Amino acid sequence: MSYSDDNFAKELILDHYQDPRGKGIPKEGYETVTLKNVSCGDIISVGAKKDNEIIEDIRHEGTGCSICCASASMMCELLKGKSTTEALKSAHEFSKMMTRQKFDPEILGDAYALEGINKLLPRIKCATLAWNAAKQLLGEQGDQCDE
Ligand code: ZN
């Protein structure tokens, strides 16, 4: 089984949707960015707790479709413990995957399971929402989002 296997990818997305990693943001000590994807109705907040350049913790909350929630869970799992530089690199690889450019699957962990979404135009925004919020938390403007 591999990430490029359709069923494996679907199961992994379902697993992150049903058992989200890093769900719930504590009120204290977290910097938060909230983004909306109007076309689908997704609203996701991402909260990060940074110690110097290290992401000590990164969490999410909100409501969204399965793709949006699974992607947020995968993102939190992947970026936790990384330096902001490493985390931004991961976020850039994810953007490349979603825009069908050459990317490195090794960097993306479970998020590689979302590759197939890049062919489903209306769902791309669902998949990238949490990553855009993370990019903003890391000091970078996310991709254009309909607000
Ligand atoms: Zn959605």
Joined together, the tokens standing for residue 12 give: 């992994």
Domain contains 146? no
Look up the domain containing 88 and give its range.
6-137
Kindly give the distance from the C-alpha atom of residue 127 to the centroid of ligand 1, in angstroms, as a whole number: 7
Q: Which residues pair with 63 in a beta bridge?
A: 43
Domain contains 41? yes
- On whether the CB atoms of residues 44 and 59 are closer than 8 A, the answer is no
Question: Which tens digit of pLDDT belongs to each residue from 13-61?
Answer: 999 999 999 999 999 999 999 999 999 999 999 999 999 899 999 999 9
Supply the mean pLDDT for the chain: 93
Question: Which tens digit of pLDDT belongs to each residue from 73-92?
Answer: 999 999 999 999 999 999 99
Kindly give the distance from the C-alpha atom of residue 114 to the centroid of ligand 1, in angstroms, as a whole number: 13
Place of tokens 């903003």: 136
Q: pTM for the whole thing?
A: 0.93
CATH number of the domain within which 114 lies: 3.90.1010.10
Place of tokens 């699957």: 105
Number of domains in the chain: 1
Place of tokens 């909100």: 62
Domain contains 144? no
Kindly give the distance from the C-alpha atom of residue 140 to the centroid of ligand 1, in angstroms, as a whole number: 23
Kindly give the distance from the C-alpha atom of residue 67 to the centroid of ligand 1, in angstroms, as a whole number: 6
94/1: higher pLDDT: 94
